[in-house]
Homo-oligomer: A and B are copies of this chain.
Amino acid sequence: MEFINVSSSSSRTELETRGVRVHSHSEAERRRRQRINAHLATLRSLLPSASRLDKAALLGEVVRQVRELRVRAEEVAVVVPGEADEVGVEEDEEAARDETKTVGGGQQGRMVRAWVCCEDRPGLMSEVSRAVRSVRARAVRAEMVTVGGRTRSLLQLEVNEAEAAAAAERGEGHHSKLQAALWAVLLTNRHGAVDNFSKRERVSTRFRSRT
C-alpha cells in the first residue's frame, strides 16, 4: 500500500530541505522507540516469569514485582543491621498502654524503646546491658539480629518513673542520658579486636553467598 503526500500547507519551500528534515524526524522517532523497547527487553529478561508476554502485560508484571520487592525490602531494612552506626531512644506508647492495662496502674514506669546498630564484638551486649542499668532501666524484652559482623539490638525498656522525673527536673530529657550511655558503648573499643572480626567478616560473607 502506498501513500502520496497531498498536503500543500507546508510553509517549507525547498523540497530537499524538507525531505532531509522529515527523514531526520522519523529517524529520531525510530531511535526513541528503540530506546524504549531496549529497556522493555531488559525487563523481559529480568523477569523470567513474564517472558513472551504482551507489552502491556509485561509492564503489569513489572508493576507487580516492584510492589512486591519494595515491601519486602522495606521490611528488611527495618530489621537488618545497616552499615551506619546508629543509636535511638523513643517512648513506646503502645507497650506502655498494654502494660498499664494488664496490671492496672502506672506503677511500673514508662516504657521506652531503644535500639543500637553497630559492629558486633565480644561483650557488646553486656556493655549495652550496663548502659541500661546505669539509667535505672530494666530490659523487658530484647531482640537481636547479627549479620556479617553487624549487629542491631532492639530493647524494650521499663524506666523508673521517679528517676525519669528527677532527670526531667534537672533539665535533662527522659531519654538523653540513656542515649548518651548507648553512644558511649558504641564509641568504646571501636577498633578493639579488629583482627578477630575482620576474619569473622570474611567467613560470614562466604556463608551468605553459598547457603
List residues of chain A with CB under 8 Å of any chain B CB.
1-7, 9-10, 32, 35-36, 39-40, 42-43, 46-47, 55-56, 59-60, 62-63, 65-67, 69-70, 72-73, 75-76, 78-80, 94-95, 113, 115, 141, 143-147, 154, 156, 200, 203-204, 206-208, 210-211
Distance A130 CA – B61 CA, assembled complex (angstroms): 47
Whether A62 pairs with B66 at a CB distance below 8 angstroms is yes
9 interchain residue pairs of minimum CB distance: A39-B59, A69-B69, A1-B7, A35-B56, A76-B76, A3-B3, A36-B56, A2-B7, A72-B73
Q: Separation in Å of the A79 CB from the closest CB of chain B?
A: 5
Whether A3 pairs with B4 at a CB distance below 8 angstroms is yes
Whether A76 pairs with B80 at a CB distance below 8 angstroms is yes
How many monomers of this protein are in the complex?
Answer: 2
Q: Separation in Å of the A5 CB from the closest CB of chain B?
A: 7
Whether A63 pairs with B43 at a CB distance below 8 angstroms is yes
Q: Separation in Å of the A95 CB from the closest CB of chain B?
A: 7
Partner of A63, one of B1, B2, B46, B59: B46
Residue of B nearest to A141 (CB): B203
Q: Separation in Å of the A202 CB from the closest CB of chain B?
A: 9
Q: Separation in Å of the A20 CB from the closest CB of chain B?
A: 16
Whether B43 pairs with A66 at a CB distance below 8 angstroms is yes
Q: Separation in Å of the A157 CB from the closest CB of chain B?
A: 13
Whether A206 pairs with B94 at a CB distance below 8 angstroms is yes
Note all chain B residues with C-beta closer than 8 A to A5: 1, 3
Distance A66 CA – B63 CA, assembled complex (angstroms): 10
Whether B62 pairs with A43 at a CB distance below 8 angstroms is yes
